């Protein structure tokens, strides 16, 4: 009898419930219970939960934490009240950390389902994306090449693959989500490269859609109360994002900028679990040189493919509910609350971004 992947029930339950950041915060003992971890350290600055294989390290007052050594940003900061009882938002427990741990624990399924991957190389045509001021290297060219390599690797591993573009053409942001829906995509993977006014900024960032009611990871004070269609896939996107981010950072071995959360249009309108990966900074001379190298692009593509394979091996492909089934989840329109997210979503300390436009 084929082994049933464990996360299915957890993910299905998670989908049924609306994710809301404002959900009541859970005290640490309940968090540990939900995550099947034990509290092994609890000081003012650090709280560690573990089960012998997996380790969650929280920092009261901060959003950045780590799960098995990989940086993950909570949708809401870990809290510690005056009695030093740490708390986490219920949404982060049930839709971020639990799906990831469930996915890791279930291991490889023997009956791996088919999966249709929609690869979205960012920008294209008149939209060059980020441009290296030192060499003129364009983001649109770099991410197209990484994406084509990724597609080939995924086809070789038995996935079906569709693209938003396979050459230097312009595709609207809204069009990308529509294409993924038409292609019946099981997952949506958007590939970008980053830029910053700080030349030293470097590393990989992987984004999932911010939970309803939560700030993006920039710490922007503006809050988007709206639930976007893709918020229906928060739990699966969390696990997919972790699989990819973990695989890429394990391959690189440094400058882990974390699994983050934003409201980029392609994430809001994705018809399935979705992530956006920033493959490094064109504004950093070393990373710009690496991103210009076919060998490095292949390494990145292999790592992203490995992350997708890990997701596929331990989580059943989502049976996507039709977007906009709920009137509150009407087709995404631009609203004030998103602009700040978009502007500030790239990284902390990187105020002036060539990538400040939506994506």
CB 335 → Zn ion: shortest distance, Å? Answer: 21
CB 329 → Zn ion: shortest distance, Å? Answer: 26
Rank residues 122 and 323 by Cβ distance to Zn ion and give the closer one.
122
In degrees and rounded to multiples of 5, residue 210 shows phi and psi of -60, 145
In degrees and rounded to multiples of 5, residue 57 shows phi and psi of -115, 120
Alpha carbons 26 and 309: distance in angstroms, whole number: 33
CB 75 → Zn ion: shortest distance, Å? Answer: 22
Retrieve residue 318's tokens: 């989502």
CB 207 → Zn ion: shortest distance, Å? Answer: 11
Alpha carbons 333 and 339: distance in angstroms, whole number: 12
Q: Which of residues 189-218 bind Zn ion (CB under 5 A)?
A: 192
Which of 90, 91, 129, 203 touches Zn ion (CB under 5 A)? 129
CB 266 → Zn ion: shortest distance, Å? Answer: 10
Residue with tokens 């995924």: 154
Alpha carbons 82 and 182: distance in angstroms, whole number: 52
Q: Which of residues 303-342 bind Zn ion (CB under 5 A)?
A: none
Retrieve residue 307's tokens: 């992350």
125-133 own/partner pairs: CB under 8 Å, 24+ apart: 125/168, 125/169, 125/170, 125/171, 126/170, 127/170, 129/192, 129/193, 129/354, 129/355, 130/193, 130/194, 130/195, 130/282, 130/283, 130/354, 130/355, 131/195, 131/282, 131/354, 132/282, 132/283, 132/288, 133/283
Rank residues 191 and 310 by Cβ distance to Zn ion and give the closer one.
191
Which of 5, 7, 121, 122 touches Zn ion (CB under 5 A)? 122
Largest Cα span, the chain: 58
- Over its C-alpha atoms, the chain yields an Rg (Å, rounded) of 19
Rank residues 196 and 314 by Cβ distance to Zn ion and give the closer one.
196
CB 322 within 8 A of CB 210: no
Q: Which residue is nearest to Zn ion (CB)?
A: 192
Rank residues 31 and 345 by Cβ distance to Zn ion and give the closer one.
345
* Segment near Zn ion (CB under 5 A); pick from 17-25, 28-36, 38-46, 184-192: 184-192
Rank residues 24 and 133 by Cβ distance to Zn ion and give the closer one.
133
CB 114 → Zn ion: shortest distance, Å? Answer: 30
Rank residues 212 and 346 by Cβ distance to Zn ion and give the closer one.
346
Rank residues 48 and 357 by Cβ distance to Zn ion and give the closer one.
357
**Of 208, 196, 194, which is closest to residue 74 (Cα–Cα)?**
208
Count of residues near Zn ion by CB under 5 A = 4
CB 41 → Zn ion: shortest distance, Å? Answer: 39
CB 124 → Zn ion: shortest distance, Å? Answer: 10
CA distances from 255 to 36, 112, 135, 138 (A): 29, 32, 23, 22
* Segment near Zn ion (CB under 5 A); pick from 33-41, 129-137, 182-190, 284-292: 129-137
121 binds Zn ion (CB under 5 A): no
Rank residues 51 and 168 by Cβ distance to Zn ion and give the closer one.
168
Residues that bind Zn ion (CB under 5 A): 122, 129, 192, 359
């Amino acid at each position: 009898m084929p082994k049933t992947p464990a996360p299915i029930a957890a993910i299905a339950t998670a989908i049924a419930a609306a994710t809301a950041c404002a959900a009541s915060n859970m005290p640490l003992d309940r968090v540990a219970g939900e995550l099947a971890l034990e509290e092994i350290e609890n000081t003012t600055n650090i709280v560690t939960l573990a089960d012998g294989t997996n380790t969650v390290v929280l920092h009261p007052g901060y959003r950045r934490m780590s799960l098995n050594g990989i940086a993950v940003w909570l949708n809401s900061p870990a809290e510690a009240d005056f009695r030093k009882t740490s708390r986490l938002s219920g949404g982060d427990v049930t839709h971020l950390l639990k799906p990831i741990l469930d996915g890791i624990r279930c291991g490889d399924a023997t009956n791996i389902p088919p999966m249709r991957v929609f690869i979205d190389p960012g920008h294209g045509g008149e939209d060059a994306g980020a441009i290296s001021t030192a060499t003129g290297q364009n983001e649109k060219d770099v991410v197209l090449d990484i994406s084509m390599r990724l597609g080939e690797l995924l086809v070789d591993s038995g996935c079906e693959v569709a693209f938003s573009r396979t050459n230097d053409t312009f595709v609207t942001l809204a069009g990308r989500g529509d294409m993924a829906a038409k292609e019946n995509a099981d997952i949506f993977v958007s590939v970008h490269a980053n830029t910053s006014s700080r030349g030293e900024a470097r590393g990989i960032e992987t984004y999932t859609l911010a939970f309803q009611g939560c700030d993006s990871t920039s710490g922007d004070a503006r809050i988007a109360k709206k639930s976007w269609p893709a918020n229906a896939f928060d739990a699966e996107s969390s696990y997919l994002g972790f699989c990819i981010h973990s695989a890429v950072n394990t391959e690189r071995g440094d400058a882990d900028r974390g699994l983050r959360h934003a409201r980029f249009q392609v994430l809001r309108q994705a018809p399935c679990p979705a992530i956006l990966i920033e493959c490094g900074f064109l504004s950093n001379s070393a990373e710009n040189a690496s991103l210009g190298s076919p060998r490095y692009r292949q390494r990145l593509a292999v790592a992203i493919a490995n992350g997708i394979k890990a997701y596929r091996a331990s989580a059943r492909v989502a049976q996507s509910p039709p977007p906009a089934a709920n009137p509150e989840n009407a087709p995404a329109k631009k609203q004030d609350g998103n602009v700040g997210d978009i502007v500030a979503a790239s990284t902390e300390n990187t105020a002036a971004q060539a990538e400040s436009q939506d994506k």
